[in-house]
Amino acid sequence: MPSSGEPCSSSYTHPQIKHIHALKTTLSVTVSVTTKTLQSSKILKLLQIFCLQCVTNGNCASNLSPHEVSYINLPNVQNQISPLILSFGASDPVAATGIHADLASFAAMGCYGLPVMTAILTGDTSQIDDLHPLDGDLVDEQARTVLEDMQVLAFKIGQVGSVENVTVIAEIVSDYPELPLVLDPFNAALAEQGPEAEDLVLAIRELLIPQANLLMISAVELSRLAETWKDSSDTETETRADANVQTEDLADDVMTLIESGCEYILVTGTAGETGEVVNTLYNESGAVRRDAWQRLPGSHAGAGSTLSAAIAALLANGLEIPEAVLEAQEFTHAALSHSQRLGMGRLIPDRYFWARETEQTTL
Residues paired with residue 283 on neighbouring β-strands, in sequence order: 286
**How far, in Å, CA of 120 to CA of 91, rounded?**
5
pLDDT on residue 354: 84
Angle 208-211-214 from CA coordinates, rounded to 5°: 95
Burial of 106 (0-12, 13-18, 19+ CB in 10 A): buried
**φ, ψ for residue 252, nearest 5 deg:** -65, -40
pLDDT at 245 over 70: no
Q: How confident is the model at residue 360 (pLDDT cuts 50, 70, 90)?
A: low
Query: Taking the chain, what is the end-to-end CA distance rounded to the nearest angstrom?
Result: 31
pLDDT on residue 39: 41
pLDDT on residue 69: 40
Structure confidence by residue, pLDDT tens digits, 261-312: 999 999 998 767 777 889 999 999 999 999 999 888 888 887 899 999 999 9
3-class SS letters over the chain? CCCEEEEECCCCCCCCHHHHHHHHCCCCCCCCCCHHHHHHCCCCCCCECCCHHHHHHCCCCCCCCCCCCCECCCCCCCCCCCCEEEEEEEECCCCCCHHHHHHHHHHHCCCEEEEEEEEEEEECCCCEEEEEECCHHHHHHHHHHHHCCCCCCEEEECCCCCHHHHHHHHHHHHCCCCCCEEECCCCCCCCCCHHHHHHHHHHHHHHHHHHCCEEEEEHHHHHHHHCCCCCHHHHHHHHHCCHHHHHHHHHHHHHHHHHCCCCEEEEEEECCCCCEEEEEEEECCEEEEEEEEECCCCCECCHHHHHHHHHHHHHHCCCCHHHHHHHHHHHHHHHHHCCECCCCCCEECCCCHHHHHHHHHHC
- Fold for the domain defined by 4-14+79-356: UDP-N-acetylmuramoyl-L-alanine:D-glutamate ligase (3.40.1190)
Residues paired with residue 128 on neighbouring β-strands, in sequence order: 123
Please tell me the least confidently modeled range out of 104-113, 323-332, 354-363: 354-363
**How far, in Å, CA of 76 to CA of 96, rounded?**
40
Structure confidence by residue, pLDDT tens digits, 85-99: 999 999 999 888 899
Higher pLDDT, 231 or 340: 340
Q: What is the mean pLDDT of the chain?
A: 79
pLDDT at 46 over 50: no
Structure confidence by residue, pLDDT tens digits, 151-175: 999 999 999 999 999 999 999 999 9
pLDDT on residue 48: 40
pLDDT on residue 206: 97
pLDDT on residue 27: 35
**Helix-helix angle 321-337:303-316, to 10 degrees:** 140
Higher pLDDT, 29 or 269: 269
Domain ranges within the chain, ordered by starting residue: 4-14+79-356, 32-71
Higher pLDDT, 1 or 179: 179
Q: CA distances (Å), 39 to each of 42, 62, 81, in order?
A: 9, 7, 35
pLDDT on residue 236: 53
In this prediction, what percent of the chain has a pLDDT beyond 90? 51
pTM: 0.76
**How far, in Å, CA of 159 to CA of 172, rounded?**
16
**How far, in Å, CA of 345 to CA of 322, rounded?**
34
pLDDT at 72 over 50: no
Burial of 9 (0-12, 13-18, 19+ CB in 10 A): middle
pLDDT at 79 over 70: no
Structure confidence by residue, pLDDT tens digits, 186-243: 987 776 666 688 899 999 999 999 999 999 999 999 999 999 998 655 555 554 445 5
Report yes or no: 110 and 315 within 8 Å, Cβ to Cβ. Answer: no
Burial of 57 (0-12, 13-18, 19+ CB in 10 A): exposed
Report yes or no: 82 and 283 within 8 Å, Cβ to Cβ. Answer: no
